[in-house]
A and B are shown apart, each in its own frame.
Chain A
Amino acid sequence: KQEVTQIPAALSVPEGENLVLNCSFTDSAIYNLQWFRQDPGKGLTSLLLIQSSQREQTSGRLNASLDKSSGRSTLYIAASQPGDSATYLCAVREGGATNKLIFGTGTLLAVQP
């Protein structure tokens, strides 16, 4: 059974710092991995989608890497801003017929001005 873990559960950094969020999964047979952002009381915003054949994806100040063999992904945020404060979720899509996402429990990020 696929399990997704995110470390740390919470992180507080001063504005301007670069930071890394970690995601690990137990079954490497995934189709893709997606990073989301969730603001309090709001829905999920997709940040980056990495297909299983890819090693990384970049969007602006965000960079996500994927090491399928070791069951790990990282989300790197450069030059953090207070507006980056949110919960960050990673989710893996399993291969085969199933089409569902298995979510981690998230990392709550607070960027202090």
Chain B
Amino acid sequence: NAGVMQNPRHLVRRRGQEARLRCSPMKGHSHVYWYRQLPEEGLKFMVYLQKENIIDESGMPKERFSAEFPKEGPSILRIQQVVRGDSAAYFCASSPFEQGGYTFGSGTRLTVV
């Protein structure tokens, strides 16, 4: 079992570009979560998805950010028109059922220049 796979590991974008972060959950896990870790801050919840459904997006910024978890393929976190303040580590986690323990991926480190 390859674990939770995130790619790319590092992503550099210029201000105004789009960033697409991908997450493949562990085999058999249908619950996916995205967290953001800003420099010198703790991890903050962004969004919780199940296949084809957004369950809780209370941590997502209202504009420019979106997430999906299609029936086939990885979960995608999309950030449009990136700004310097979006520079952070973005972590994806998955669990096998609603209240199961989390397994985290290695993260995508986004740098906006």
Contact = CB atoms under 8 A, between A and B. Distances in A.
Nearest to B4: A43
Interface residues of B, number: 26
Contacts of A44: 43, 91, 93, 104
B70 interface: no
Given A99-B55, A100-B33, A100-B56, A46 B102 contact: yes
A20 B105 CA distance: 27
Contacts of A42: 106-107
Interface string B77-113: 0000000000000010100001101111111010000
Given A36-B104, A89-B43, A105-B41, A100 B59 contact: yes
Interface size class of A (residues with CB under 8 A): 20 to 34
- Mostly, the A contact residues are strand
- Mostly, the B contact residues are strand
B42 A104 contact: yes
Given A43-B107, A89-B42, A99-B56, 4 more contacts: A43-B91, A91-B43, A93-B99, A99-B48
B43 A103 contact: yes
Interface string A47-63: 00100000000000000
